[in-house]
Amino acid sequence: MAKDYIGYKQLTDAALRGVVREALRRAEKQGLIGSHHFRITFKTHFPGVEIPGFLREQYPDEMTVILQHQFWGLKVKDDQFEVTLSFRKVPATLTIPFSALTAFVDPGVQFGLQFRGEPDEAGEGEHKPAMLPHPQAPEQQPTAEAAKSAEAAEKQPAPPGEVVSLDSFRKK
């Protein structure tokens, strides 16, 4: 296979993270309208992630947060976003770089993206985006089960006609 000097995987990844950024910017400006709400999964030890120690201890690898009814101070920048959520009735501000995301789902409109690190031919890690299968009902609090269900969805074969992989269109 010919070497990709343009970097299509990185371009696709950046474009899909831009979709997440723009969705959050719209929520920042106008709030969440209709049935829209976001389930966001991210790596807790990724450089630039700022979360309270008790959350990092409870979620040592990955954490899922829900932006639906009770979130405050959403601030979206080019490379990260900041939001305040309540954990055990204690407000906590989280700063999450877009590059730390592993999944983004808007169950209200059955939309989802998944970002997972996969080594390329040279053995270097990079994120490869994929569409998530139809999301389930939203959870009310961030849980480890939500992160595990996202991982399980990744491992299960997708129902025919619902998920399109970009790899299927590439020449091999």
CB-CB contact of 133 with 111 (8 Å): no
pLDDT at 123 over 90: no
Instruction: Report percent pLDDT > 70 for the chain.
Output: 67
Average pLDDT over residues 25-32: 90
CB-CB contact of 129 with 13 (8 Å): yes
pLDDT at 165 over 80: no
30-68 per-position pLDDT tens digit: 888 888 999 999 999 999 999 999 899 999 999 999 998
Q: Which of 56, 145, 7 is nearest to 153 (CA)?
A: 145
Give the pLDDT of residue 170.
Answer: 57
pLDDT at 139 over 50: no
In the chain, the domains with their CATH numbers are 8-169 (2.30.30.220)
pLDDT at 155 over 90: no
Phi, psi of 100 (to 5 degrees): -85, -10
Structure tokens at 122: 């040279």
Burial class (CB in 10 A: 0-12, 13-18, 19+), 106: buried
Give the pLDDT of residue 16.
Answer: 92
101-116 per-position pLDDT tens digit: 999 999 889 999 998 6
Banded pLDDT at 4 (limits 50, 70, 90): confident
Structure tokens at 39: 């389930």
Banded pLDDT at 88 (limits 50, 70, 90): confident
pLDDT at 22 over 60: yes
